[in-house]
Amino acid sequence: MNNTETHKFEDDKVLINALLKNDEFAFRYLVKTLYNPLLIVARAIAGSSIADEIVQESWISVLRALPKFEGRSTLKTWITRIVANEAKRRKKKESRFVSLDSFTSEDDSFLERFDSKGHWTSPPGNWGTASPDEILEESQLKKCIDATVKVLSERQKAVFLLRDMENYSLEQICNILDVSDSNVRVLLFRARNKLFQTIEHFQETGEC
Amino acid sequence: MLNCKQFVERATDAEEYQMASFGQKFQIKFHMFMCHHCRKYNEQFRTTTVVAKNLTLDDTPDVIIEEAVVEMKEYSVQDNSSIN
């Protein structure tokens, strides 16, 4: 698939029309661009063991339902909801218990940076004038950041992906993941904070 | 008045900040004015958020795409035969 073919599918209407005609290139584009984000969402809802199966089975569900797509959201959001609903259904069916993150015991290392009155005991270090671009261009630091994202809990990763990388609203994230507003905020804060600490540590030590 | 920990917990999502009441926004701004550690944290946290928005996921493995295409072709054949 060349770049021109890929670019044209960035337009939802073009992509939908092609998918309705069972166009293989359009389908490849869909799987290529959506598999990883959908996998993260499915893992957060149903757990790692069945997430891949849920996503792989959803492609045909998407094709079947596509003629009924009314365009009230983006195609990506609509497909994400399909996968999220399927993940919720499967989780219920298989009666798997997926534990929520422990909101009280996790990430104590950051909370230790405040005293009992809530003041900094270990304030933020100096990053100099590093801009986001400079941070991303530093290949070793980029590796540290990628490694940090990989080890986030499934729910943190899903909230972080949907909010920061995919730009979903907090309300949409609550609906997709079936998580309360306060939990979404805690998960997001913790994920971002881990990233923050990774960058801070690297700027101070030059290591992950 | 907010302490640093409360500032850190409340001032970290732009959408959340937009939804905050006038009084809450004032508390956040006032704390930032008074505390240089939190000013620095806020600035660096914003940088972190911009970095986060520019991250990309790994590429989808080819084997996943090929498996899905096989399924899609089978569906396509069934779909066409049901039309005909």
Is A101 a domain residue? no
Q: Say how far apart CA A153 and CA A149 lie, in whole Å.
A: 9
Question: B18 or A9, which is more confident?
Answer: A9
Of A22, A165, A185, the CB nearest to B52: A165
Can you give the pLDDT at residue A17? 94
> Of the given ranges (A84-98, A102-116, B13-27, B61-75), which has the lowest mean pLDDT?
A102-116
**Domain boundaries defined on chain B:** 4-83
Read off the pTM: 0.80
DSSP string, A58-80: HHHHHHHHGGG---SS-HHHHHH
Our count of domains for chain A comes to 2
Is A64 a domain residue? yes
Domain limits at A185?
A: 108-205
Question: What's the whole-number mean pLDDT along residues A73-91?
Answer: 93
CB contact under 8 A, B60 and A31: yes
Is A182 a domain residue? yes
CA dihedral A31, B64, A167, A4 (to 10 degrees): -40
CATH number (domain holding residue A20):
1.10.1740.10
Whether the predicted pLDDT of A182 surpasses 70: yes
pLDDT digits (tens, 9 = 90+) for A10-64: 899 999 999 999 899 999 999 999 999 999 999 999 988 889 999 999 999 999 9
pLDDT digits (tens, 9 = 90+) for A117-126: 889 999 988 8
Q: What are phi and psi of A120, to 5 degrees?
A: -60, 130
The confidence band for A128, taking pLDDT boundaries of 50, 70 and 90, is low
How many of the other CB atoms lie within 10 Å of CB of B49? 20
Contacts of A38 in chain B (CB under 8 A): none
Question: What's the whole-number mean pLDDT along residues A173-183?
Answer: 91
Can you give the pLDDT at residue A105? 45
Asked whether residue A84 falls in the same domain as residue A134, the answer is no
Contacts of A111 in chain B (CB under 8 A): 5
Asked whether residue A70 falls in the same domain as residue A132, the answer is no
Contacts of B5 in chain A (CB under 8 A): 111, 114, 118-119
Whether the predicted pLDDT of B20 surpasses 90: no
Is A146 a domain residue? yes
Is A98 a domain residue? no
Structure ipTM: 0.79
pLDDT digits (tens, 9 = 90+) for A138-165: 888 889 999 999 999 999 999 999 998 8
Is A186 a domain residue? yes
